[in-house]
Structure 1
Amino acid sequence: MPYKERAKSGLPRKRPKSSCKVTSWTAYNRSLINRGRVSFYFPGGSVRAAFVNEIEYVEGLFGKQVRYLDPYIETLFMLKIVFRLGMRQITGFAKEYFQRAGLDLPVPSFGQLSDRFATLQPSVKVRAAVARQRLKEGKPVDLIVDSTGLKLDQAGEWHAVKHRNGKHRRNWGKLHFGQTPEGDILVAELMDSGVSDPEVLDQFLAKGLPLNKVMADGADYQIERNAELITQGCGTALGELNISRRHNCVLGKVGAYPAEQNLL
């Protein structure tokens, strides 16, 4: 029975509602206070030299050089995302903060920030160190395949909510990803909601990653296809395939699919 129907009928929840109990209010309050603290650490060198280009013109090059360097723009963009500020708000916030910190730094205008944010390409640190090292050495890894729905808003979404005309323009996508048991994402694909999970699972397996074990939920459960994968993959680069049966699935005849016994 769906959750809303059970709530209306007064039946208890199937699973207890998860709750986080505070054990140390002192540590909890300190963590909330630290969320609002803004501090920067610059390991040596001048902050202005790292953020601002003082050389406006270079002999032999046409036009004026970029004054505000990419690390400066990335810092302001990070502050904008963390504190959910607008373009004008981040400009005023940076001016006030640098002034109180005693830093002689010019702040770009909100128009220039808007242009620079659109072309910004921040560097992303690769944190899957264990999985990357194992793949580099050619060792197999365990892969957990799952998917989740994403709502993609368009410009008409704001208009519909603003004027309450009921004409919502929502596009739903589905993010398929495969991760290791440690939480390192190895493969990810954003597909339309009409693409089934088994199709994306075949694409993940076709990438040729050395896999020791592949685990998936009931959305990827197909008797014929899973049996074929198990028959072809056991003992090879695919390794072991564990896919949970759906709760309403109907098992075939005994012996019809010998590899079905390996399915969870």
Structure 2
Amino acid sequence: QMQGALEQHLARLNELLASRGDYVQTLKFTQQLAGSIVLQLQGLPAWRGVSADLTELSGQVAYVEYYRWLAYLLFFILVLTVCLLACLGLAKHSRCLLLLMLCCGLLMLVLSWASMAVDTAAAVGTSDFCVAPDKFIMNQTDDEISAEVVHYYLYCDQSLSSPFQQALTVFQRSLTTMQIQMQGLIQYALPLFPTAEKDLLGVQQLLNSSETGLHQLTALLDCRGLHKDYLDGLIGICYDGVEGLLYLGLFSLLAA
């Protein structure tokens, strides 16, 4: 959208300043710089597919976690119910209650062993992932993102340059040059061609907006924020998550 607006302004300025060859050359140079910026931005990786996969994975994990929590809650209620029935049956010497307690106890035993098997399998699978999470992520993203970019975000080594540094540098230099060119046209061409004021100021405003967008893009592409989220996620999965699975397995073993 910004590229289209810039081209419209430059096309009108070419018509208004057609009598001055030097000004027309400046406009052509500005258009070439804008084209180089577009090429650099097109060279940045598109992660729409990866973002969609992560969103889908997050939804699936939330779905499974909800029903896992509900299942363990019901299982805990069943354990309490069996204990109450056992106490009540022993207190009243009721054969029916004791038989019901025995049936529920057998069901609880089966569920306990099944739960422990699921917890053990989940803990083993998670532990396998935690042995080499970086390698797993690089294999999963091999078709979508280059290894250099994945390495940059996984390790966030400040001694290495960003894979986006060249594109952002070209963007910054081209944008600065365009701003200087437009400032010169406003200073020297505007007094001679007052009808070009609207388009010259429009181009200047677009360039200022592009500079703001460049700063935002630079901040978004910085590895530190995503790397911190990655480390927090690893701690949550490989430490808290595995520990929680072990506690659930211990609970299932004690319940059995």
Higher relative contact order (CA 8 A, sep 6+): 2
Larger radius of gyration: 2
TM-score of the two chains, using structure 1 as the length reference: 0.19
Higher fraction of strand? 1
Higher fraction of helix? 2
